[in-house]
């Protein structure tokens, strides 16, 4: 599966109502650490059919960024059953990202 880009209109369906755990990345195109994490998230999305990998561009979706109190990016969150169960800020290696799940 590929990474799913979500906005305020698709967030409820793709993240909150997902039957699978969701790894959600809050990012921006100008953010260096975000660009470092992006290929790792693409890999995880391809390798793990048991989860969804979603991304929210904070510049295009400021309401979602505010809703979740995003102050620094990249912020990675894991949602299970519509609730945040894990969260980290900053670029992380693949092993640490997978450990969040």
Is residue 34 part of the annotated active site? The answer reads yes
Query: 6, 22, 31, 53: which one is catalytic?
Result: 31
Q: Do residues 41 and 2 lie in contact, with contact meaning Cβ atoms separated by under 8 Å? A: no
Is residue 54 part of the annotated active site? The answer reads no
Distances (CA, A) of 38 to 12, 13, 99: 23, 22, 17
Strand residue runs (E) in 6-92 = 22-27, 52-57, 75-80, 83-89
Query: 22, 24, 34, 58: which one is catalytic?
Result: 34
Residues assigned a catalytic role: 31, 34
């Amino acid at each position: 599966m590929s990474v799913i880009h979500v906005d305020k209109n698709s967030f409820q369906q793709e993240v909150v109502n997902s039957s699978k755990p969701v790894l959600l990345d809050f990012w921006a195109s100008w953010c260096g650490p975000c660009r470092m994490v992006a290929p790792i998230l693409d890999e995880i999305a391809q390798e793990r059919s048991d989860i969804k990998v979603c991304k929210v561009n904070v510049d295009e979706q400021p309401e979602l960024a505010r809703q979740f109190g995003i102050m620094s990016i990249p912020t990675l969150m894991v949602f299970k059953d519509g609730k945040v169960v894990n969260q980290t800020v900053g670029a992380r290696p693949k092993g640490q990202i997978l450990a969040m799940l």
